[in-house]
A and B are shown apart, each in its own frame.
Chain A
């Protein structure tokens, strides 16, 4: 809860800094602030007392537990990496820098709400804080028609999904008489679940599948990822995707576990379709951002396995998978953004000959791609291993087989990028990343390796 307050204060500080003309020091201050907030977050681990403000118990609205603290830590760390990339990304438009950074901080605060919600009101508010901020960010290149289109498509689809989510919440409220997760769970376990409640559950599930871009609700994601500015795409693909998954998991485990018989069948089909279709369409893509969008869709399919595996505590597996996915994706974007800005276009052929031009960057992108594909000893492999073994423990054997086959298909398109870097001829455009980009890409790859070799720190966390 303190973490959320401090993050919002940091966002407000950003807006004030614009007035005080402090743009130059903004990014270092934010990263230092996020480091402090991360530390506060870690301190809360030992003592998760109920939050009392002015004599009122807030734990009916938000509940800070080990689950929320672990995911908040991941989220704050991801945000710090994105901020490290942002000072150079926005150097062409210094007048808007503080606005963009403030909105990114509000996205972060929205994700913190999503991790610790206990009341469906907070779930709705968290989703909307994240989404509305992202609509602005996606459309932030005002004179670029593609960015406008991405922002508007995201807006229409996202607010439609919010409407469906709200209708689901209203039906669940009508049946169970409460918005609080434990009271909803008590209503379900008392038996005699009304059809209205089941319809509400289905609508909420649908809306959340929409937000995490699972097939058949995925069609907005490639367009939005392609049209948005690259750094915003990186935010959507990492921070926001993991946040929606954590919220989905929290809702399913704490509120709707009693109706898992009904939701499980649908989620199973959706997960299988997401993994297969995401990977198959990714095979045909030329645009790197679209490729990562379809790769994100297929990773959403794997993460749905964790949401299906509710009989065992699969939150650690979800956290590990999320961390591996975030590290690999941010590492890939840290290489791709300088390449795109040098080459002026965003297809896979922009990487042609990068292995000769800049061997370090090529190596980092290779490692990130291998981690996304799930090749040992990188973290992506162990993430898949944990998720699949949770699914097998819960009896989803055939679904795990589908997942393994799908991830083998996936290796092909990740190698397409690697082949472009090492086998195609180079042109003479110089790609020279700034030191911050180098630090971020090396940090991501080193952490992927460390987590892949010593996973013990993470696996028993929650």
Chain B
């Protein structure tokens, strides 16, 4: 790691993470199954984690790597709450398809 890495790799690595983030965004926007949407949000967060770690390694300061731990902890809490909400929906309507959730409309 560090400044000796070639310029080509330095360009490529962030782009891969942008691509990963876009996969997550597309998943949330176009999939209708709640569990898959949850996984796509996790992909987004992990893309950010990778991005932070690589920025941190290139710039030689460790702040970004510490931030990653915070993101991991928060993501775990978020998933716990999300799965609990999904469980109570599944108990009430027997499905995790979000198109069934249409009680609230103008």
Q: Which residues of A contact B (CB under 8 A)?
A: 121, 124-125, 128, 132, 135-136, 139, 142-143, 145-146, 148-153, 155-156, 159-160, 162-164, 166-167, 169-171, 173-174, 177-179, 222-223, 226-227, 281, 284-285, 290
Complex: how many Å from CA A188 to CA B59? 18
Q: Output the least CB separation between A129 and chain B (Å).
A: 9
What 0/1 pattern do residues 68 to 106 of B give for CB contact below 8 A with A?
Answer: 001100100110011011101100110000100101111
Decide: A124 near B74, CB < 8 A? Known: A152-B89, A155-B85, A167-B51.
Answer: yes
Complex: how many Å from CA A167 to CA B23? 13
Q: Which residues of B contact A (CB under 8 A)?
A: 14, 21, 24-25, 28, 34, 37, 41, 44-45, 47-48, 51-52, 55, 59, 61, 63-64, 66-67, 70-71, 74, 77-78, 81-82, 84-86, 88-89, 92-93, 98, 101, 103-106
Tell me whether A163 and B103 are in contact (CB under 8 A).
no
Q: Output the least CB separation between B87 and chain A (Å).
A: 10
Tell me whether B51 and A174 are in contact (CB under 8 A).
yes
**A227 / chain B contacts, CB cutoff of 8 Å:** 103-104
Nearest to A196 among chain B residues (CB) is B14
Tell me whether A166 and B48 are in contact (CB under 8 A).
yes
Decide: A159 near B78, CB < 8 A? Known: A167-B47, A170-B52, A281-B106.
Answer: yes
**A284 / chain B contacts, CB cutoff of 8 Å:** 106
Complex: how many Å from CA A223 to CA B64? 36
Decide: A148 near B92, CB < 8 A? Known: A167-B51, A177-B59, A290-B106.
Answer: yes
**A132 / chain B contacts, CB cutoff of 8 Å:** 74, 77-78, 81
Q: Output the least CB separation between A36 and chain B (Å).
A: 29
Complex: how many Å from CA A173 to CA B2? 17
Q: Output the least CB separation between B24 and chain A (Å).
A: 7
**A178 / chain B contacts, CB cutoff of 8 Å:** 61, 63
Nearest to B54 among chain A residues (CB) is A174
Complex: how many Å from CA A121 to CA B103? 37
Q: Output the least CB separation between A288 and chain B (Å).
A: 14
* Sample of 17 more A-B contacts, CB < 8 Å, known A156-B28, A163-B45, A223-B104: A132-B77, A135-B82, A145-B92, A145-B93, A149-B89, A149-B103, A149-B104, A150-B104, A152-B34, A152-B82, A153-B104, A163-B25, A163-B41, A173-B63, A174-B51, A177-B61, A284-B106
**A151 / chain B contacts, CB cutoff of 8 Å:** 85
**B103 / chain A contacts, CB cutoff of 8 Å:** 145-146, 149, 227
Q: Output the least CB separation between B94 and chain A (Å).
A: 11
**A169 / chain B contacts, CB cutoff of 8 Å:** 48, 67
Nearest to B44 among chain A residues (CB) is A163
Nearest to A119 among chain B residues (CB) is B63
Tell me whether B92 and A143 are in contact (CB under 8 A).
yes
Complex: how many Å from CA A442 to CA B67? 46
Partner of A148 from B25, B51, B77, B89 at Cβ < 8 Å: B89
